Amino acid sequence: MRDLFDKIYKDKGPLGKWASQAEGYFVFPKLEGPISNRMKFQGKEVITWSINDYLGLADHPEVRKVDAEAAASYGSAYPMGARMMSGHTDLHEQLQNELAAFVNKEAAYLLNFGYQGMVSTVDALVSKDDIIVYDVDAHACIIDGVRLHMGKRFTYKHNDVESIEKNLQRATKLAEQTGGGILLISEGVFGMRGEQGKLREIVALKEKYNFRLFVDDAHGFGTLGATGAGAGEEQGVQDKIDVYFATFAKSMASTGAFIAADQEIIDYLKYNLRSQMFAKSLQMQLVVGALKRLEMLRTMPELREKLWENVNALQGGLKKRGFDIGTTQSCVTPVYLKGSIPEAMALVKDLRENHGVFCSIVVYPVIPKGLILLRMIPTASHTLQDVEETLDAFSAIRERLENGTYKRLSASVSAEIEAQ
């Protein structure tokens, strides 16, 4: 027998092993100032591409005013307790009803936090005889929810319709033996690559297979579709999504989330979601703020129009300059480069220090070894000047990556890691 902590002392994990070189700069960086297109990083102004404030609502004066008034009226505690016990109000119900109408569902239920709400919803929808089929690139909250499942689960190749059908066939055979049902989980937009889930194709498979579709549309809500109702609306299949999830942490620039479905399904979930039954209700300050944000989503299409003007300018400019942005179909803008983790560190430092551009860096194990993914999130608060400066910066860093400058600069970091 060994001490439980022995493994922690010896192995900090694929990301943790970089902590001494990365913490405070590449991971856990501190962006300061109002949430906007330009913020302060270590005292310097940087064009900020790492904030999911798609519609620019975080620092919008109308939003800030309502948030301040709600804080003055209710404080940050009310209502206390879980929804079932003492944390339920008329405004919670009003927000649920307005959200349900916005995403064209019979009913909705507020969640105090998106991640744990997603975990609980997966857990509540299935029992041990049921089978889950989900994308291999699913978000961590989906994976954690699936891990709670006591029954069988199958992963399909990312956005691969042939693989989806193959796994539905496997799930169907097993469900016929267990007497259970099938839950298929996809994302509306995959947050790293920016691809939309194959919702239209998945829905078409309902004609051949008996399953229910659960969609995590965190990045699609507010950004996609004619009204901003998300990826289901964009693909014309919103009515075929059985359970719809979206968060307030992106387009709504707040905290919280919701699920939407037929009334009977929501009635079941609100009595069976453990993360909501045994945890505090969403605070009134956030509920009032969400009502205002949702009103702006409905009545100010110019926010979404400005967002997409910036998205098209950034993505079009990158492609014109020969950058690989993969197969994104959303605002999420990945730029793929070849290089090691130490090279990626040197590259990002150059971007921030010498070009005033702040974007997120994604490396192994999130993506394959030897690749660097620079992930950018355009928002409605960005300007075309921000885009142009960023494109010039990217052209400069690509040249330095290809001529070996970053490899030389990162040699000491590589040697230090190899010595550990």
What pLDDT, in 10s, does the model give residues 173-184? 999 999 999 999
Phi and psi torsions of 384, nearest 5°? -65, -25
Indicate the pLDDT class of residue 420, thresholds 50, 70 and 90.
low
DSSP assigned state of 78: P
What digits encode the pLDDT tens for the residues 194-244? 999 999 999 999 999 999 999 999 999 999 999 999 999 999 999 999 999
pLDDT at 113 over 60: yes
Give me the pLDDT at residue 244, please.
98
Indicate the pLDDT class of residue 399, thresholds 50, 70 and 90.
confident
In the chain, the domains with their CATH numbers are 6-54+301-419 (3.90.1150.10), 61-299 (3.40.640.10)
Residue type (1 letter), 138? A
Give me the pLDDT at residue 183, please.
98
Q: How far is CA 356 from CA 41, 46, 118, 353, in A?
A: 9, 4, 36, 6
Token readout for 198 is: 């194959």
Give me the pLDDT at residue 366, please.
74
Q: Any bridge partners for residue 213, and if so which?
A: 184
pLDDT at 19 over 90: no
Percent of the chain with pLDDT over 90: 83
Give me the pLDDT at residue 408, please.
87
Average pLDDT over residues 257-278: 96
pLDDT at 119 over 90: yes
pLDDT at 292 over 70: yes
